[in-house]
Chains A and B, each alone.
Chain A
Amino acid sequence: MVVPLISIILLAPLASFAIFALLGLAKRNFPRQDYLSTFAMLVALGCSLLLIQEVTSEPTPLTVEWLSLGSVNFSMGFYLDSVTVIMLIVVTLVSSLVHIFSIGYMHGDPRYSRFFAFLSLFSFSMLFLVVSDNLLGIYIGWELVGLCSYLLIGFWFEKDTAANACKKAFLTTRVGDVGMFIGMMMLFAEFRTLSLYGDTGIFEAVATLESGQIAWLSIAGILIFCGAVGKSAQVPLHTWLPDAMEGPTPVSALIHAATMVAAGVYLVARMFPILTPTSSLVIAYVGGITALVAATIAIVRFDIKRVLAYSTISQLGYMMLAIGAGSYVAGLFHLTTHAFFKALLFLGSGSVIHAFHAMHAHHDDAEHTEDAAHEHADNSLVHEHGSEIPPDQDMRNMGGLRRKMPLTFITMLIATLSISGVPFVFSGFWSKDKILGGVLGRAMEWNSVHHYILFAMALIAAGITAFYMFRLIFMTFFGEPRNQEMHDMAHESPWVMVVPLIVLAVLSFPVVNTLWFNKDYIEPPPQHHIPAPQHAYVSPDSKIGDANFGFSLFGVSTAQAAEEDAGPDTAQADDAYHIHHRAHNIAMVLSICVAGLGILLSWLFYHRRRFSAEGVATTFRPVYNLFWNKYYFDEFYDGVLVALTVWKSRLFAKFDLSFIDGIVNGVGKITRDIFAAFIGFFDNRVVDGFVNRVAEVTWAAGGRIRKIQTGAIQTYLFVVLGGIVLIILIFRLF
């Protein structure tokens, strides 16, 4: 029953894309590609739901031989456990909703049906990535989602910004992927296989390693994590995600908020068993730093989509931090909750943009011509982020929309409350609390400085998140309209767009995440190389909000309920449990405080206007600049390139200020310069040069010999005589 279901889940979207592609070869279009794709997704969703009870406590990989090379074999297959199912549901659910939303949002786009075909392809790739039971399969899905992200970001490729953004996204993630591939190569070289599960799988093999020989394993783990850094836009490879907002908003919602970027977290979670203390710590720190950095940047953005983008980055950092710190379940839980409310936020923003946008003829070529024209001047790929914000996305043009579009407002508010971690009624609170609790718990349990630092990071990030999210809400929906005539255009979106919002809003309440409250539905896989009293630490974590949700709803500490199943209460486990108990209480209190503080400040700043954000900005100008310029990441990368190419810079007509564009252009230009020069030098001078030298020498020799051929017979005779003498001499010599 499992295999057919999964097959359907995979094939339905694939089929919908295949139809489009095949008809495309015949230069035709399927009349209603949108319905086709949406239907396919709904089918997939249904199957995923059916899969819930298929999950067994002992998941067995269902594999087929994919490549047989005699000595080594590669197998492809599915692996179905609770995490898989949850991911499947999340992906199919969000994807279906986004499909529906897009029917309204993308209406009238010249490449309407292509959009849906790509969405289907993406869904297929994502699902394949989710169900794969081996690194190779995961990598395949991994790259395919990358491709789809490329295609969809660049969907309006007439805009140079979009064209740049999609390339940047692909290449940046590719950099990470290479790291991941090297990691895979290391694992393969060690274990001669890439399948994860089963007796021959990597995880079994890892278990057998002595702790002495895991140094390389840490490296491998970190390298694999590089892939996640790329895909999940972690520092330092995060710069592509904000640019990815060039894509249509539904795409941002689906790919760059809910699913694909979360794939990195999913990957790390899947690879949980091979993580060593070192690699875990690296992951946690990267996550923490990302969470902080992105959050702080988000404070000062004005482009509504970019605010959300940075918030996504920071939330992803959160999840990474969680898993790095060992809170496996918490991380995944946050993944799901985040998927819903972030998708909601994006769709909501999309609805807002749509409202503003309605008057412009829908993204038709004419309109792109305008905003692309001024950039198309030169072929170089210059694009200063945030420098020019599309008017319909600039929060400074918004305000007071809550009356105009109440549904959008309410739904987005719910999401905001959820992401800000407003206690008890919102799922975001629970997941975030689990993370904080888990980190702090481990910190206290090991009393390790690292984890305290991580906890601090997470806490601050939580506060800032609350702050900037409400800033968004206030700037967008409250106050007086700042741009009247745009305001007048604004209107509530059609139902086909609003319904998904409502559904997602409902999903932002914990009650629907029941799977997570089924106490042993999720079991974190064993980590063989992390010396920790696993059990004591896992148990409180593994049952979020404890069996029944009602308690927690009424503010009863989760930790209290943790009591009930602290597991075999050895003394150690016992005090471990107490530690976690305390940890969770502290964490919860603190998180509520910071969230409240953040919201309060934001209210004072942007609603009550007690303080002026500008004033603060001016007082803390350097800090502000730091945030505004996104910690000068791009500039830094460019700086490196410049340093690389400073001696050439005069030759470069214009230097490009964005990261991968910089790399590509830079390297491109370096290449065209140095390499072209080098080829010019090497190919033409050294290699050809050598050949030509030889040729010339040969020719010259030919010329010489001609010279001897004077035409005067007596010289010939001299040569004869000389020849005779020479021959005789040679004889005598030898």
Chain B
Amino acid sequence: MSLQHYLVISSILFSLGIFAVLTRKNAISILMGIELILNSCNLNFVAFSRFVTPAETIVGSEVFRFDGQIIAIFGIVLAAAEAAVFLAIILAIYREFGSIRPDEVDTLKG
């Protein structure tokens, strides 16, 4: 499998994420969309790290640099943290508004 495949998949994921974020009428689904976006990015990083970053040869055997993977891991961590905060805020919203439909949370405007 070549880099292109990964990129295509990641862009599809990204697009799906954006689509979800823009269209879903439920805060949770929006969160999912966000997760999709982040994961598409992680996929990108890993793929790029695998295919693009030059391998260094240490003692005859090829050794890959793992920058991309590392970034991806951090990405996952941050995504988790974000999800946590998001859910907490959604709870607050539900408490205040009795709903988690994003389009009903619009008292601040203009």
Task: State whether A706 touches B110 (Cβ < 8 A).
Answer: yes
Least distance between B20 CB and chain A CB atoms (Å) = 11
Task: State whether A711 touches B22 (Cβ < 8 A).
Answer: no
B106 beta carbon closer than 8 Å to chain A: yes
Interface segment, A7-15, A127-135, A159-167, A712-720?
A712-720
Chain A interface extent, by class: 10 to 19
Contact with B along A140-179 (1 / 0, CB 8 A): 0000000000000000000000000000000000000000
Residues of B contacting A721 in the complex (Cβ-Cβ under 8 angstroms)? 18, 22
**A707-B110, A710-B106, A714-B22 are known contacts; what are 11 more A-B pairs with Cβ within 8 Å?**
A706-B110, A709-B110, A711-B106, A711-B108, A711-B109, A712-B102, A713-B102, A713-B105, A717-B21, A717-B22, A721-B22
Task: State whether A714 touches B102 (Cβ < 8 A).
Answer: yes
Residues of A contacting B108 in the complex (Cβ-Cβ under 8 angstroms)? 711
Cross-chain contact of B103 among A706, A707, A709, A712 (Cβ < 8 A): A712
B interface list, Cβ under 8 A from A: 18, 21-23, 102-103, 105-110
Which chain B residue lies CB-closest to A718?
A: B22
Chain A interface, >50% SS class: helix
Cα distance, A721 to B33, chains bound together (Å): 14
Residues of A contacting B106 in the complex (Cβ-Cβ under 8 angstroms)? 710-713
Which one of A710, A711, A721 has the highest number of Cβ atoms from chain B below 10 Å of its Cβ? Answer: A711
Residues of A contacting B18 in the complex (Cβ-Cβ under 8 angstroms)? 721
Least distance between B89 CB and chain A CB atoms (Å) = 12
Least distance between A25 CB and chain B CB atoms (Å) = 64
Residues of B contacting A710 in the complex (Cβ-Cβ under 8 angstroms)? 106, 109
Name 13 interchain pairs, CB-CB below 8 A, sorted by A: A706-B109, A707-B110, A709-B110, A710-B106, A711-B106, A711-B107, A711-B110, A712-B103, A714-B22, A714-B103, A717-B21, A718-B22, A721-B22
Cα distance, A712 to B105, chains bound together (Å): 7
Which chain A residue lies CB-closest to B25?
A: A714
Cα distance, A717 to B37, chains bound together (Å): 14
Cα distance, A721 to B15, chains bound together (Å): 11
Which one of A706, A710, A714 has the highest number of Cβ atoms from chain B below 10 Å of its Cβ? Answer: A714
Which chain A residue lies CB-closest to B18?
A: A721
Cross-chain contact of B109 among A709, A714, A717 (Cβ < 8 A): A709
Residues of A contacting B22 in the complex (Cβ-Cβ under 8 angstroms)? 714, 717-718, 721
Cα distance, A711 to B103, chains bound together (Å): 8
Residues of B contacting A709 in the complex (Cβ-Cβ under 8 angstroms)? 109-110
Least distance between A708 CB and chain B CB atoms (Å) = 10
Residues of A contacting B109 in the complex (Cβ-Cβ under 8 angstroms)? 706, 709-711
Least distance between A701 CB and chain B CB atoms (Å) = 14
Which chain A residue lies CB-closest to B107?
A: A711
Cα distance, A709 to B108, chains bound together (Å): 9
Cα distance, A31 to B22, chains bound together (Å): 99
Least distance between B28 CB and chain A CB atoms (Å) = 14
Residues of A contacting B105 in the complex (Cβ-Cβ under 8 angstroms)? 713
Least distance between A244 CB and chain B CB atoms (Å) = 71
Residues of A contacting B23 in the complex (Cβ-Cβ under 8 angstroms)? 714
Cα distance, A397 to B106, chains bound together (Å): 96
Cα distance, A717 to B30, chains bound together (Å): 11
Contact with B along A680-715 (1 / 0, CB 8 A): 000000000000000000000000001101111110
Cα distance, A718 to B19, chains bound together (Å): 10
Cα distance, A706 to B109, chains bound together (Å): 8
Which chain B residue lies CB-closest to A703?
A: B110
Cα distance, A717 to B106, chains bound together (Å): 14
Least distance between B14 CB and chain A CB atoms (Å) = 12
Cα distance, A590 to B110, chains bound together (Å): 100
Residues of B contacting A706 in the complex (Cβ-Cβ under 8 angstroms)? 109-110
Which chain B residue lies CB-closest to A705?
A: B110
Least distance between B15 CB and chain A CB atoms (Å) = 11
Least distance between A706 CB and chain B CB atoms (Å) = 4
Which chain A residue lies CB-closest to B33?
A: A717
Cα distance, A710 to B108, chains bound together (Å): 8
Cα distance, A711 to B105, chains bound together (Å): 8
